[in-house]
Structures are given as structure tokens and as C-alpha cells.
Amino acid sequence: MNYKKYEEVMNQKARIMKDSIGIDYEDFEQGNFSFDYEKMMRVCGYELEEIIDIQRKSGVGNTPLLELENITKLARMLSPKGKGARIFIKDEASNPSGSFKARRAAVSVYHAKKLGYSGIISATSGNYGAAVASQAARSGLNCIVVQEVYDSKGIGQPEILEKGRSCEAYGAEVVQLTVGPELFYYFLLLLEETGYFNASLYTPFGIAGIETLGFEVAQQVRSIAGKDPEAVVITHAGGGNVTGTARGLKKAGCGNTQIIAASVDLKGLHMASDTDFNKKSFTTGHTGFGIPFATWPDRADVPRNAARPLRYMDRYGLVSQGEVFYVTEMLAQLEGLERGPAGNVSLAAAFALAQEMDDDQIIVVQETEYTGAGKHPLAQLAFAKAHGVEVTRGNPEENRPGVNIVIPERPEQIRFCDINMQSLKESYLKNIDNNYLKGKKDCLTSIDLEFLAEEIRLGKGKICDLLQVR
């Protein structure tokens, strides 16, 4: 590899991104800080019917929707009379690489091959790397996955190591790094040196690939129950899962379905901290990604992130690590489904939320993922103990990220803790002010104001009040 100074590489990132994605993001810019989001999705994405065909030919999608009858019965036992919605789960573990991320990878790999790229690169510590590697193998493209794996002592988080193993099994070259800013540096170096396609999680191709998931949920619930689901619960990290699924539901005509995002509560742990890195038992679907990406989506590795979660989520709430581990065992022992941690974040949330809903309503858990090796609760809990995190049984409200993991003693202890959506929207506006307006309120144009109204679903007058603009 031809190493260059960090500053030199960072100064070239716009050019490298343009060359490696084939998108000139300048085409969508407007106002002082806004951009035409729907134009970006139209020009760079594919029509839904095309994506369905692309995924069908690559063995992706059309996964089963399973009713969790035993877990629903348990929820109803804990609910007031007439409450306890039917709980369904979309079994995305049925995809070739074992997660919903095969959907976004299928479109990115298809597009890379269509444009004549000889290979594809993904920077991810998660399931997406395995999905890209799987689809690249099927399409005959070279693949490199760049992972953030180790702390400064060379100790790797077991779930990330398992995902690296999976990437290698599909024939990808895996570049494993320590936690820190070098991930993006090496990623850019590799893109420039190889000339490969950038399979970013945040391009329109990746987000459009998830739209089929929401569309399928709508079709399958209608086929089973003759109506739309009242709620769909989506594990939230970088925002692509929420955005793509919600867009697919809307394209299917589900105008009244509530979009509920869920994350694991890891507040207080810094994801770029060497000391905190191995004190978390979840590598995705947690607040370390969920809150920052909701309040400032363009922190991504592309100039404009196609994942815009505040445009779509109606509620956003948290569950604890212990609650997810409990529900993982619940799913296995009550429904005979052993699945990985990410989807079980949403299942923990749905179990609590179902108890608020009427018993003739439907709540859908939007994904499952494969489990095994480092993904398994036993591996995660053993690793936590080895790093000084206490694991106990008790009240999960006593959970303290990085200090202890409290696994519930009883199912009625599982709770969904709402985050104030208004505070998230205000944080988004603060980021706009700090990064663009910088106190100069006259920089806010009518186009910018229209963009903000769509971004955070607030009235223009309210936005002006919060920004103190007259």
C-alpha cells in the first residue's frame, strides 16, 4: 500500500469518493446547507421493481414473516384485559449472509458490476461486510472489508471477530484495525489504490435496497391479516434500516403504520474510546450510533447520507443490554428460533410495546440476523466479565453501561424507554447552527427552511423559533 500523510488523504476524500461511487453530490446541493434528498434518491437509486428483480436473482429477499404465537401469549398474560398485540418477526436471517444487509449489498454489488468496477470495498465491523463479501463472491468481484476490531492491547471484540471470520469465509480480504480515526484513512487509501467501488452503507443504492423489506412487510401482513401493521419496530444504528424500511412501507401505501426505532442503551460509552471499546456487548444497534446519526446524519463516509432517520421515525426508545440477552433466550426457548443480537433489540422493544396495544393489532419486528460464535450471548457475557463488567440477575433499570449488565428475573421487567423526539430535533438544529449558520441567522434561506421542515418534521414557524430566526 502506498502510504500518505493523514492530512493529504483527508484533503482528497471528496475526489476519492466521487471516483469510487460515481456520484457527484454537488448536483444535489441547494441553499446554504440543504440538498435535494428525493432527487438524489431518484437519480442514483433504482425503481422498486428493479431492486426486487436484482435481489431475487441474487437470492436475497422474500424472507418469511413469522408470527410469534408463544411470545404473544406471554405478552398478553402480562397485559391489561384487551391488550397484547400480535407479534410478528421478519426472518431476515434467511438471506444468504444471514441478515437484512444482504438487501443493501445486493444493490451496491449489482451497481458496481454494472459500472465496470473490478472490486468492491466496505468499511464496517458488522453484518454488512459479510453481506458485501457474499454478494461479491456471487458476482465474481474482488472484495475488501476494512474492520475496526482491536483495542490498543490487541484484544478483539468477539462479535466483530466472528463477522470478520464470516467475511473471509466468502473470500474477502479483511483488513483489521485498532479503534480510532485510522479506519477512514485506510479505507480512503484502499479506494484510491485499488480503484474499487465504495459500498458505503449510506449511498442511495444501499438505502434503496432496504425498501423492499418494508414493502414485503406490508404485503405479507395484508396477506395474513387483511390490513396494514399498526407498528413496525426497527433496530436503529446509522439510520439506514429505519430509512429504507419506512420508505418501503410508504411505497406500499402504509400511511398510518407507526415507525418505531429501538436501540440498546449504551449511553456514557464513547465508541471511539480505546478504554470503552471493549466494555460494550453490542457492536451495532446502540446509542453510540443511533443518537449521533439521528441528530447529524452527514457524519457518514459520503458527502450526503441517504439515511435520514428523523424524516421517518415516529418514536425512538431504548432497551438495556440485559433485556436483549433475556429476549434472545426467550425467542430460542419459546419459539425455537436462535437468532443474533441486532434483531432482538427490536424484539425486546416490541415485547414491551405490544402490551400497550390492543389485542387485535399487529406489531412487526422488522429483522432477525444469524447467530453463532462471537455473536452468542454466552460469548458476549464471558467477554464482558473478562473486562470487569459485572453480570447479574435483577432489575434491568439498574443496568449501567460499561459497569454492569443486569439480566431481568421476570419478563414483566422488560421496558421500552422513550427518548424525547423533540430533544433530538432540537439537537439536529443545534448541529445545523454550529456547522453552517454559526450564529448568522440571515444564512437561512427559504429553501433551507423547507429542507429542515422535511428533515425533522417540524413546522417552519417552530424551526424559526428554535433557531431564533425572525
Count of structural domains within the chain: 3
Report, as an integer, the average pLDDT of 23-27: 93
In a domain, 425, yes or no: no
Report, as an integer, the average pLDDT of 268-295: 91
Q: Is the predicted pLDDT of residue 254 greater than 90, yes or no?
A: yes
- Top-confidence residue, 455 or 4: 455
Distance CA 150, CA 167 (A): 17
In a domain, 423, yes or no: no
In a domain, 1, yes or no: no
- Specify whether 318 is located in the same domain as 273: yes
- Specify whether 296 is located in the same domain as 378: yes
pLDDT for the residue numbered 283? 87
H-type alpha helices, 298-445: 321-335, 341-354, 377-386, 421-432
In a domain, 424, yes or no: no
For residue range 398-430, list pLDDT tens digits in order: 999 999 999 999 999 999 999 999 999 999 999
Residues 6+ apart with CB under 8 A from 292: 299
The domain that holds 136 is classified in CATH as 3.40.50.1100
- Top-confidence residue, 126 or 434: 434
In a domain, 271, yes or no: yes
Confidence of residue 1 (pLDDT cuts 50, 70, 90): low
418 strand-pairing partners: 317
Q: Is the predicted pLDDT of residue 123 greater than 70, yes or no?
A: yes
pLDDT for the residue numbered 114? 96
In a domain, 448, yes or no: yes
Q: Is the predicted pLDDT of residue 111 greater than 90, yes or no?
A: yes
- Top-confidence residue, 194 or 271: 194
- Specify whether 216 is located in the same domain as 197: no
- Specify whether 235 is located in the same domain as 295: yes
In a domain, 78, yes or no: yes
- Specify whether 137 is located in the same domain as 66: no
- Specify whether 71 is located in the same domain as 189: no
Check: CB of residue 214 under 8 Å from CB of residue 251: yes
Check: CB of residue 233 under 8 Å from CB of residue 241: no
- Specify whether 240 is located in the same domain as 332: yes
- Specify whether 258 is located in the same domain as 291: yes
CA atoms within 13 A on the CB side of 245: 26
Sequence letter at residue 25: Y
- Specify whether 336 is located in the same domain as 377: yes
**Domain range for residue 49?**
6-54+99-204
Q: Among 156, 173, 204, where does a domain finish?
A: 204
Confidence of residue 470 (pLDDT cuts 50, 70, 90): low
- Specify whether 351 is located in the same domain as 393: yes
Can you list the positions of beta strands (E) in 195-308? 197-198, 231-235, 258-264
CA angle 173, 200, 194 (to 5 degrees): 45
Q: Is the predicted pLDDT of residue 181 greater than 80, yes or no?
A: no
Q: Among 189, 204, 219, where does a domain finish?
A: 204
For residue range 126-150, list pLDDT tens digits in order: 899 999 999 999 999 999 999 999 9
- Specify whether 30 is located in the same domain as 175: yes
Distance CA 170, CA 80 (A): 49
* Residue whose C-alpha is closest to residue 71's, from 378, 414, 405: 414
In a domain, 385, yes or no: yes
- Specify whether 403 is located in the same domain as 255: yes
Report, as an integer, the average pLDDT of 257-271: 95
CA distances in angstroms from 333 to 70, 213, 247, 392, listed in the order given = 10, 26, 33, 20
* Residue whose C-alpha is closest to residue 199's, from 133, 108, 137, 76: 108
Q: Among 180, 204, 228, where does a domain finish?
A: 204
